[in-house]
Amino acid sequence: MILTPLTGLPLVQPGDNIGRLIQNELRRLQITLESGDIFVIAQKIISKSEGRLVNLTQVTPSQEALELADRVQKDARFVELVLRESQSVLRTRPGTLIVEHKLGFVCANAGIDHSNVQGQWGNQDDWVLLLPENPDLSANLIRQELEKADNVRLGVIIIDSHGRAWRNGIVGATIGLSGVPAVVDLRGVPDLFGYQLRITQVAAADELAAGASLLMGQAAEGAPVVHVQGFPYPLREASLRELIRPKNEDLFR
């Protein structure tokens, strides 16, 4: 499998066409697309292009946000945004706010981020970036544009950096996708010794997200898109729902 970071994209602004920016970079790098190729895209440039920037001076915290902010020692305006983007608050402690996002997954601060965010006015420390409202739809629109331009069958994954309950550090995780299997079911497939697997289901989209995230980096690397060739599973239609464990099967809440 070959993963190629696209490092020549300009800084994305609200209203920018991500598919078109990717096409321009592919031409610069002389990359020819083939059916089965996948693009892994950092959430941040999707959110920027969709205008998900918010200035905290424009946010009025609710009483719930004020009380929660006092407990977790965070800006009440920031906490208000977290509450608006969440279905429920799962865990809190000073400096930490773990929620179930409206999209269904569990993450810190509803995925709202300060890093690599720049607004058009005021104090830059007041600007934050929310996750895309519908990452599956965002991925699908980009995929359609790229497929139409090159007449090939592609996949698109949108990723974010998530922590994990039982391990330190963050990893790339899928928050939206189109044309890529989120989970690959290997139950019934024989192993090396002929034993048929009974439980194994591979979070293929998350595995690819983690690999691409290594190339994207977390600071000033400037590689928000990774082109992937040689993905080992057939492409198919899927959605983020495949990756979200139902609450009645969640043993850790």
First to last CA, the chain: 36
User: What's the pLDDT score for residue 221?
Assistant: 61
Packing angle of the helix pair 18-29, 135-150 (nearest 10 deg): 40
User: What's the pLDDT score for residue 220?
Assistant: 56
- Is there a single domain that holds both residue 45 and residue 61? no
Q: Please give the Cα distance from 104 to 107 (Å, whole number).
A: 10
Q: Is residue 220 part of a domain?
A: yes
- pLDDT in single tens digits along all 253 residues of the chain: 999 999 999 999 999 999 999 999 999 999 999 999 999 999 999 999 999 999 999 999 999 999 999 999 999 999 999 999 999 999 999 999 999 999 999 999 999 998 888 888 888 899 999 999 999 999 999 999 999 988 999 999 999 999 988 899 999 999 999 999 999 987 778 877 787 878 888 999 999 999 999 999 876 568 999 999 999 999 999 999 999 999 888 887 7
Q: Please give the Cα distance from 243 to 125 (Å, whole number).
A: 34
- Is there a single domain that holds both residue 125 and residue 168? no
Q: Please give the Cα distance from 121 to 175 (Å, whole number).
A: 29
User: What's the pLDDT score for residue 166?
Assistant: 87
Domain termination site, one of 129, 157, 192: 129
- Is there a single domain that holds both residue 31 and residue 156? yes
User: What's the pLDDT score for residue 126?
Assistant: 93
Q: How many CB atoms lie within 10 A of CB 1?
A: 10
User: What's the pLDDT score for residue 196?
Assistant: 83
- Specify the amino acid at residue 149: A
Domain count, the chain: 2
Q: Please give the Cα distance from 108 to 240 (Å, whole number).
A: 18
Q: Is residue 252 part of a domain?
A: no
- Is there a single domain that holds both residue 57 and residue 119? yes
Cα 15–Cα 216–Cα 87 angle in degrees, nearest 5: 65
User: What's the pLDDT score for residue 81?
Assistant: 98
Q: Please give the Cα distance from 163 to 251 (Å, whole number).
A: 18
User: What's the pLDDT score for residue 219?
Assistant: 62
Structure tokens at 196: 């048929």
- Is there a single domain that holds both residue 144 and residue 165? yes
Closest CA to 3 of 208, 192, 186: 208
Closest CA to 243 of 176, 190, 193, 187: 176
- Is there a single domain that holds both residue 72 and residue 27? no
- Is there a single domain that holds both residue 188 and residue 106? no
Token pair 């895209």 is found at 41
User: What's the pLDDT score for residue 40?
Assistant: 98
> What domain range is 58 assigned to?
53-129
